[in-house]
Amino acid sequence: MGDVCVVFKVLPEDSELKIETLEKEIVEKINGICEVNKISVDDIGFGIKALKIQVVVPDEEGKIDRVEQAISSISGVGQVDSEDVTLV
């Protein structure tokens, strides 16, 4: 099997939370589970920002869910959505 590239959109629980702090915590948490390719910050509006995190995981059952659950378990994360999934 190959690898899968997944883009997650992560919204913070609170607009006052520093997005850089959240980014650092997410990278530390998922580093052993997957390979982080790219992270960008999107302005949603009204001061709210979202993280777009592109990761590569092995094409195995449950791997994407494991990454999503790891991100969701971090304090300060409000919502996690997988936006794009592509075979690499």
pLDDT at 83 over 80: yes
Residue pLDDT, tens place only, 48-77: 899 999 999 999 999 999 999 999 999 999
Average pLDDT, the chain: 95
Does the pLDDT value for residue 1 go beyond 80? no
Q: What is the pTM assigned to this prediction? A: 0.92
pLDDT of residue 37: 96
> Between vectors from CA 44 to CA 42 and to CA 48, what angle results, nearest 5°?
100
Residue with the bigger pLDDT between 32 and 7: it is 7
Residues 6+ apart with CB under 8 A from 61: none
DSSP states along 19-78: HHHHHHHHHHHHTTTSEEEEEEEEEEETTEEEEEEEEEEES-TTHHHHHHHHHHTSTTEE
Which residues, in sequence order, are CB contacts of 51 under 8 Å at separation 6+?
8, 9, 10, 19, 22, 23, 26, 39, 40, 41, 42
> What are the beta bridge partners of residue 54?
7, 38
Q: Which residue segments constitute the domains of the chain, with CATH numbers given?
A: 3-81 (3.30.70.60)
pLDDT of residue 71: 98
